[in-house]
Structure 1
Amino acid sequence: MCISHRNRRDFLKTAAAAGVAVAGAQALVAPGTAGAREHTAAIGDKVALTDVRVFDGSELTAPRTVVIENGRIGVSAFGARRIDGEGAVLLPGLIDAHIHLRDVTTLRQLAGSGVTTGLDMACFPPSAVDPLRELPGLTDIRSAGTPAVAPGSPQSQLPAFPADAVLTGPDQASRFVRARIAEGSDYIKVIIDEPGLAPETVQAVTTAAHSFGKLVMAHATTTAGVERALDAGVDMIHHVPLDSPLPAGVAARYTATGTVAVPTLTMMEGFAGLGIPGMDYAAAEGSVAALRGAGARILAGTDANSTPGIPVQPPFGTSLHHELELLVRAGLTPREALRAATGLPAQSFGLRDRGVIRPGYRADLLLVDGDPLADITATRALRRVWVGGVEYSPAA
């Protein structure tokens, strides 16, 4: 069972206790997209994309040729089938730094929107994740598996939630981390919420994970939660507060410690739109502005999910394009937003074979009309998508 950061039952219970009317709240789901509908080129097909302007992480190059060979960016166009790019822009495949896996349809939807890598932030049991790994021509994934949660938290009350992930104290941290690693988790996640893990438990999980060379992701949706995550030394903080913008001093701590921010503005916008007192999207937007002003590293992540009962369900794939637009509205330049979905997440998660268009790297590519450095919405104008060298028909 894959989970997001709340389930509807506990969300409604909390809201009702606060006297909030949420009976009319609807899940924010975009009109359905079929995702990638078909492969149009096989692995091993050698292709030369001619007359394409390449985003090199800073600017667009002059028109050039990019070769795809055996799933990688090649060097020589000799013997390649040629595709005329007609001056369109070639981007590295997009990376969504916060999703919740569901099934293989998830991967098709991501691929069809040019999202060639998906970083899952909670999905269990391992039997739900393992079949989705390394599928040729489909979006490549990594996963946190099961997150660490506190007793009484919404996640701990899910019928299938693993008991060993409900931590009552720091003495359980090492065992929790070892179990996740044994199950194949690529990084470790902790939920810092109310009710949330005690600070000493978060610290113990972080220390244990780092001893095994694993990054630690923290879910934090309040300023107080963010400060607890920073105190523990986690590597990335997912979400931004909806209660108040991050103070400049707190934002500066991200930069000082090298902590990475994944604001998930799409999800923050969705929850703020439910009309619950104390949830203000302006706070989330202000937090991103503060983080950018402090020079913090910001990644694009959507919290895309299709989990039953979740009141906000960003669609897989298409929501990342919306996330880029929201990041730009919050103060990032289009260049910074593109980097937040390409090179920066690749670097931050240690994915050394993607994020840029360079010989030897994965042929994760999308060809778009228009200039996304001038207008970020141009990322939606997909012509072609390649995932590990396999071409897909973009989603409608």
Structure 2
Amino acid sequence: MQGESNHKLAIRNVRIFDGHTITAPTTVVIDGTVIGTDPVGAEHLDADGAILIPGLIDAHIHLDSPHALDTYAAHGVTTALDMGSVDTALIEQARARTATTTLRCAGAPIIGSVGVHAHVPGIAEVGIIRHPDDAEAMVAHRVSTGSDYIKLILEAPGEGGPDADTTKAVVTAAHARGLTVVAHTSTPGAYAMAIDAGVDALTHVPIGARLPAADIDRLATGAHVVIPTLVMMEGVADIHGVAQYFPASLKTVGVLHAAGVPILAGTDANQMTGIPVHPPHGASLHHELELLVRAGLTPADALNAATTLPARHFGLTDRGAIAPGLRADLVLLDADPLADITATRAIRKIWCAGTEHAPAQTLSA
């Protein structure tokens, strides 16, 4: 990290990813922490035709250290959405950091009393919900501790997650406060429960199991988004010796996308005890983009899955695109990601709210 910036920089001869295509060469002004319009008095940088994309957003992580935010920044991931943490001190320290990747957080997830997630250290004490009448207090507690959205851990009926009535009560309590609800859904049964309850974002995609066509239709016609975390599901399939089923997960994502369900890029990056797969912070989002393209998204769709769409669906109105007045969260690439999505690794420069970060050396490896 180069230090917090208040100066003005005009990036000349740069081509912009505008959400659809790559524009003709133009000038983009970084004015302090935001994108400006007036190059007068600015330092000039000739990009020589390089491509500027919005800072990437990882829509599913689990932070283990405040300094991991700098790792995200060095990989061009300028916003990270934590999907469950019981370490309030860690989150407070991470939120207090400036001039690096921005963190949003769900706080402690809400879980059932049995099942695999009840055994993750630290979660049971704060996360178990036993009755619909507990929903109001649990959501209110998360609001009081600064949660930006609510995370539910859902399982298929009878497999240890909150039951249907309790799930609905949590969603109702959260929506009454204007909060988005994200649900862990790794099986078709959990998907059905989440859709029934009106969950906003469903994260993970089943391995090998198809989603019923009726549920895909309900996802497409309702206000739902899916964060498939293909990096995580690929890792789970590998360690359980069922890698041959992972292509079905890719196909599911392609079907959801073709049906019109918004797909968001998230990795489930973590270093958590009790979780068998640990996608690396920052670097794994680039692999997620590649897997999304394998699943059937165009490179432009994949870039939008990590920029405009998570910004829109998580209320991040100050980022996700390159336009005057938005945060200067920017990534300068030496190659065209619309021609080859792996070009997101060809990073020349990175800015988090106008502060320049050096790219990670592993990106060019």
| TM value normalised by structure 2 | 0.95
Match of 1:105 among 56, 67, 75: 67
> What residue number does 2:220 align with?
255
- Write the distance in 1 (CA, Å) between the matches of 2:241 and 2:165: 31
The one-letter amino acid of 2:71's match is: Q
- 1:44 is matched by which residue type in structure 2? N
Mapping of 1:167-246 within 5 angstroms? 167-193=129-155, 194-246=159-211
The amino acid across from 2:62 in the alignment is: H
Q: Give me the whole-angstrom Cα distance separating, in 2, the residues matched to 1:42 and 1:277.
A: 47
Q: In structure 2, what is the equivalent of residue 122 of structure 1?
A: 84
Pairing partner for 1:283 from 234, 245, 248 = 248
Matches within 5 A, 1:18-57: 38-39=1-2, 42-57=4-19
CA contact (8 A) 2:108 2:126 kept: no
1:373 pairs, out of 338, 349, 356, with 338
Alpha carbons 1:245, 1:285 under 8 Å: kept = no
Match of 2:98 among 128, 136, 148: 136
Q: 1:232 to 1:256 in 2, by over 3 A?
A: same
- Does structure 1 conserve the Cα–Cα contact (< 8 Å) formed by 2:208 and 2:247? no
* Alpha-carbon distance between aligned partners in 1 of 2:244 and 2:128, rounded to the nearest angstrom: 27
Name the CA distance, whole Å, in 1 between partners of 2:47 and 2:210.
Answer: 43
Equivalent residue number for residue 311 of structure 1? 276
| Counterpart position of 1:30 | none
What is the match of residue 230 of structure 2?
265
Structure 1 counterpart of 2:164, which letter? P
Per the TM alignment, residue 278 of structure 1 is displaced from its structure 2 partner at its CA by: 9.7
> How much has 1:308 moved relative to structure 2?
2.9
Per-residue deviation, residues 114-172 of structure 1 (Å, max 9, x unmatched): 00000000111321211111522110010001011011233333453353421111111
Write the distance in 2 (CA, Å) between the matches of 1:122 and 1:49: 38
Distance 2:139 2:297 in 1: 35
User: Who is 1:17 aligned against?
Assistant: none
Q: 1:127 to 1:162 in 2, by over 3 A?
A: farther
Report the 3-state secondary structure (helix = DSSP H, G, I; strand = E; otherwise coil) of the residue aligned with 1:326.
helix
The alignment partner of 2:292 has SS state of: helix
Q: Distance in 2 between matches of 1:126 and 1:279?
A: 39
Matched, 1:335 2:297: no
Letter in 2 for 1:282: P
**CA separation of 1:344/1:308 partners in 2, compared to 1, >3 Å: closer, same or farther?**
same
Segment of structure 1 superposing worse, 162-171 or 176-185: 162-171
Distance 1:73 1:277 in 2: 46
SS of the residue corresponding to residue 98 of structure 1 reads strand
Distance 1:279 1:247, change over 3 A: farther
What fraction of aligned residue pairs are identical, expressed as a percent? 48
CA distance in 2 between partners of 1:147 and 1:311 (Å): 18
Does structure 2 retain, via aligned residues, the 8 Å contact 1:343–1:355?
A: yes
Once structures 1 and 2 are overlaid, which stretch shifts more, 253-262 or 90-99? 253-262
Q: Does the 8 A contact of 1:248 with 1:290 survive in 2?
A: no
Q: Specify whether residues 373 and 158 from structure 1 end up closer, same or farther in structure 2 by C-alpha distance, changes over 3 A only.
A: closer
State the Cα distance separating 1:279 from its structure 2 match.
8.2
1:391 aligns with 2:356: yes
Give the conservation status (yes or no) of the 8 Å contact 1:223–1:243: no
* Matching residue within 58, 65, 83 for 2:45: 83
* Whole-angstrom distance in 2 between the partners of 1:137 and 1:291: 36
Change (3 A) 1:134 1:255: farther
In 1, are the aligned partners of 2:203 and 2:229 still within 8 Å (CA)? yes
Give the aligned partner of residue 95 of structure 1.
57
Hey, what does 1:350 align to over in structure 2? Answer: 315
Q: Is the 8 A contact 2:234 2:243 kept in 1?
A: no
Q: What amino acid is aligned across from residue 151 of structure 2 in structure 1?
A: K
The one-letter code matched in structure 1 to 2:250 is: E
Counterpart CA distance in 2 for 1:198 and 1:216 is: 16
Match of 2:107 in 1: 145
User: Structure 1 pair 112/153, CA: closer, same or farther in 2 (3 Å)?
Assistant: same
| CA deviation string 1:177-235 (max 9, x = no partner) | 00111111000011012311101111000000001110000001001110110000000
Count matched residues.
358
Which of 294, 314, 329 is the matching residue for 2:259?
294
- TM-score scaled to structure 1, two decimals? 0.88
1:325 maps to 2:290: yes
Paired with 2:176 and 2:144, the residues of 1 have a C-alpha distance of 15
Please state whether the residue corresponding to 1:107 is helix, strand or coil. Answer: helix
* RMSD value, Cα: 1.4
Structure 1 residues 228 and 354: alpha-carbon distance in aligned structure 2, compared to 1, 3 A threshold = same
* Letter paired with 2:305: A
| 1:154-165 to 2 correspondences below 5 Å | 154-161=116-123, 163-165=125-127
How far apart are 1:343 and its partner, in Å?
0.5
Residues 111 and 128 of structure 2 are in contact (CA less than 8 Å); yes or no, is this contact kept in structure 1? yes
- Structure 1: distance between partners of 2:306 and 2:180: 19
Secondary structure in 1 matching 2:59: strand
- Kindly state the Cα deviation for residue 388 of structure 1 after the two structures are TM-superposed: 0.6
Where structure 2 has 5 or more consecutive residues not aligned to the other structure, the ranges are: none
